[in-house]
Chain A
Amino acid sequence: MKTYLEKTYIIFDRELRGYFRTPLASIFLLVFLALSSGMTFFLGRFFERDQADLTAFFAWHPWLFLILMPAIGMRLWAEERRSGTIELLITLPVTNMQLVIGKFLASWIFTLIALILTMPIWVTVNFLGDPDNNVILISYIGSWLMAGAFLALTSCLSALTKNQVIAFIISSISGFVLIMAGFNLVLSSVRSWTPTWVTETVGSMSFLSHFSRIQMGVFDLRTLVFFVSMIILCIWINVQLVQIKKAD
Chain B
Amino acid sequence: MSSKLIDAKNLKKSFGEFIAVDNIDLSVLRGEVVGFLGPNGAGKSTTMKMLTGFLEPDSGDILINNIDLKSNPLKAKGFIGYLPEGAPSYSDMNVLEFLSFVGKMRGLNKNLLTKRLDEMAIQISLKDVWNKPIETLSKGFKRRVGIAQALIHDPDILILDEPTDGLDPNQKHEMRNLIKNISNNKAIVISTHILEEVEAVCSRAMIIADGKLLANETPANLEKQFGNKDVITIKVFNKINTVLAKNLKSSLNYSDVKIEKLDKDTNRIFVSDAKKTPDLNNVLKQVNKFKLNIVEASFVKSSLEEIFRKITTTNASS
Chain A residues in the interface with B (C-beta under 8 A): 3, 7, 10-11, 14, 18, 21-22, 83-85, 87-88, 90-95, 246-247
Partner of A87, one of B54, B90, B105: B54
- CB pair B86–A21 under 8 Å, yes or no, is no
Residues of B near A91 (CB, < 8 A) are 52-54, 77, 80, 82, 84
Residues of B near A88 (CB, < 8 A) are 82, 84, 88-89, 102, 149
In the assembled complex, the Cα of A21 lies from the Cα of B89 at a distance in Å of: 15
List 8 A–B pairs whose Cβ atoms lie within 8 Å, in order of A's numbering.
A7-B105, A83-B88, A83-B90, A90-B54, A92-B106, A93-B78, A94-B105, A246-B54
In the assembled complex, the Cα of A87 lies from the Cα of B80 at a distance in Å of: 13
Residues of chain B in range 47-64 having any CB-CB distance to chain A below 8 Å:
49, 52-55
Residues of B near A7 (CB, < 8 A) are 105
Q: How large is the interface on B (under 10, 10 to 19, 20 to 34, 35 or more residues)?
A: 20 to 34
In the assembled complex, the Cα of A18 lies from the Cα of B101 at a distance in Å of: 12
User: Contacts A88-B102, A91-B77; is A21 near B93 (CB within 8 Å)?
Assistant: yes
Chain B residues in the interface with A (C-beta under 8 A): 49, 52-55, 73-75, 77-78, 80, 82, 84-86, 88-93, 101-102, 104-107, 149
Residues of A near B77 (CB, < 8 A) are 91-93
**Beta-carbon nearest neighbor of A95 in chain B:** B74
In the assembled complex, the Cα of A22 lies from the Cα of B90 at a distance in Å of: 12
- The total number of A-B Cβ pairs within 8 Å is 64
Residues of A near B80 (CB, < 8 A) are 91
**Beta-carbon nearest neighbor of B87 in chain A:** A84
Q: Is the interface of B mostly helix, strand, loop or mixed?
A: loop
**Beta-carbon nearest neighbor of A18 in chain B:** B92
User: Contacts A91-B53, A91-B54, A91-B82; is A10 near B92 (CB within 8 Å)?
Assistant: no
In the assembled complex, the Cα of A83 lies from the Cα of B105 at a distance in Å of: 19
Residues of B near A246 (CB, < 8 A) are 54
Q: 3 nearest interchain CB pairs? A: A84-B88, A87-B84, A93-B77
Partner of A10, one of B53, B78, B90, B105: B105
Partner of B53, one of A22, A85, A90: A90
In the assembled complex, the Cα of A235 lies from the Cα of B82 at a distance in Å of: 27
Residues of B near A21 (CB, < 8 A) are 92-93
- CB pair A10–B101 under 8 Å, yes or no, is yes
Partner of B105, one of A22, A84, A85, A92: A92
In the assembled complex, the Cα of A87 lies from the Cα of B88 at a distance in Å of: 8
In the assembled complex, the Cα of A246 lies from the Cα of B89 at a distance in Å of: 16
- CB pair A10–B104 under 8 Å, yes or no, is yes
- CB pair A83–B91 under 8 Å, yes or no, is yes
- CB pair B88–A92 under 8 Å, yes or no, is no
Residues of B near A14 (CB, < 8 A) are 90, 93, 101
